Homo-oligomer: A and B are copies of this chain.
């Protein structure tokens, strides 16, 4: 094991009870032979973290939360090669082991398909879910060789801060739409993840990119990220607007970026026969597929869902797209806080006030 000089204790934000999160002192994690310890420089807050705070998504009290961070190498085990102490790195929100059947067959996010993690969906998501997370001074990355990616010297923390989760998730939303060159794609909801999906649609060959939201500011942002058309669902019938824009052809693909039954159904209804629905929202209710929206099962429809893709190679690719100017997510980072004020940052994020999209939390 190699290591910089490490303190015994560190500050970490933990879930204590429904509605209660706080910064506590914890021991700095032990580093095993396959692990790498990141000294966190910047972290951020995700919508899922809010669900966790509220107790809507259950985690063990005392768990360090957060799954997005940027930092430097503080220590690594004997089986970890190719890194140097102090160099800038990050890991995805999802950290596949690399060795489970799901990983071997291209579905690393579903790392739980095997005996090790118990055949459980989403078991690839460990940080702040089943292991200590990223909103802390240090975070331990297991199976480091499969997960830790170097940050190009030219990129700032702010430029890469969206890679671990929302950029990877949002773009996967458009990847799962199986866009064929020239497709018309409708993206429903334009929060940070929806905007990332819009970035993805632009990157993947869509010709007509229709962004849907209820906030004009978000629709304006969508245009900056590549939307060719926008629909404010508060003023317009989304299905009829799509019909008008496409001269009756309707959309080839739709991406659900929120997690409601109603937005899911909107996605179904804007599709042409043979259309593709990609869902990246996190639902908290049963979904209903209206018979007519589905051509009674005879419409050659396709629905795909996904969890955020992780792994070091995914992260390297996203950062390379940023470095070469194809993606710029800095516009999504609307606020900055010091780690000691992270509880306040949660409150702002939860309130959706002040035009907040994403918050950079500076740790060191």
What residues of chain A have their CB less than 8 Å away from a CB belonging to chain B?
32-34, 79, 81-82, 96-110, 112-116, 119-123, 143, 145-146, 171, 175, 180-184, 200, 203-205, 207-209, 228, 248-250, 259, 272-274, 279-291, 294-307, 311-314, 316-318, 320-321, 323-326
Tell me the nearest residue of chain B to A143, going by C-beta.
B99
Q: What is the CA–CA distance of A324 and B196 in the complex, to the nearest angstrom? A: 20
B311 touches A305 (CB 8 A): no
Number of copies: 4
Which B residue sits closest to A142, measured CB to CB?
A: B79
Q: Which of B121, B283, B303 contacts A273 (CB 8 A)?
A: B121
Given A108-B104, A182-B317, A273-B122 in contact, is the A283-B299 Cβ separation under 8 Å?
Answer: no
- Across the interface, name the chain B residue whose C-beta is closest to A172: B181
- A–B Cβ pairs within 8 angstroms, 8 of them: A100-B145, A107-B273, A119-B272, A122-B273, A207-B317, A300-B307, A301-B305, A303-B304
B299 with A282: CB separation less than 8 A? no
Do B98 and A103 touch (CB < 8 A)? yes
A305 in contact with B313 (CB, 8 Å): no
User: By the criterion CB–CB under 8 Å, are A101 and B283 in contact?
Assistant: no
- Contact between A207 and B283 (Cβ–Cβ < 8 Å)? no
Contact A122 B299, beta carbon cutoff 8 Å: yes
CA distance A347 to B100 in the complex (A): 40
Q: Give me the 4 closest cross-chain CB pairs, A-B, nearest first.
A: A182-B317, A121-B295, A98-B98, A121-B273
Establish whether residues A287 and B284, one from each chain, have CB atoms under 8 Å apart when the complex forms: no
Contacts of A297 in B (CB 8 A): 259, 279-283, 305
Minimum Cβ distance to chain B for residue A74 (Å): 20
Could you tell me the distance between the alpha carbons of A317 and B287 in the complex, rounded to whole angstroms? 33
Q: Which residues of B contact A100 (CB under 8 A)?
A: 145
B324 touches A104 (CB 8 A): no
Q: Say whether A145 contacts B282, CB under 8 Å.
A: no
- In the bound complex, residues from chain B placing their C-beta under 8 Å from that of A299 are 110, 121-122, 305, 307
Q: Which residue of the partner chain B has the closest CB to A314?
A: B104
With beta carbons under 8 angstroms apart, the residue of B284, B311, B317 that contacts A181 is B317
Alpha-carbon distance A312/B171, docked complex (angstroms):
30
Report chain B residues within 8 Å CB of A32: 79
A98–B146 touching, CB < 8 Å: yes
Chain B residue contacts of A79, Cβ below 8 A: 32-34
Could you tell me if A105 and B325 are in contact, using CB atoms closer than 8 angstroms?
Answer: no
From residue A49, how far is it (CB to closest CB) to chain B in Å? 15
Cβ of A67 to closest chain B Cβ, rounded Å:
13
Query: Given the complex, which residues of B lie within 8 Å of A106, measured CB to CB?
Result: 106
Q: How long is the Cα–Cα vector from A156 to B256 in the complex, in angstroms?
A: 36
Neighbouring B residues of A280 by C-beta, 8 Å: 297
For A325, what are the chain B residues with a Cβ–Cβ distance below 8 Å? 228
Given contacts A181-B203, A182-B318, A291-B286, contact A304 B305 (CB under 8 A): no
Contacts of A298 in B (CB 8 A): 121-122, 282, 305-307
Which of B96, B207, B289 is in CB contact (< 8 Å) with A286? B289
Q: Which of A114, A259, A282 has the most CB of B within 10 A?
A: A114
Nearest chain B residue, comparing its CB with the CB of A317: B182
| B-chain residues with CB within 8 Å of residue A318 when the two chains form the complex | 182
Q: Is the CB of A102 within 8 A of B207?
A: no
Measured CA separation A22–B321 after assembly (Å): 50
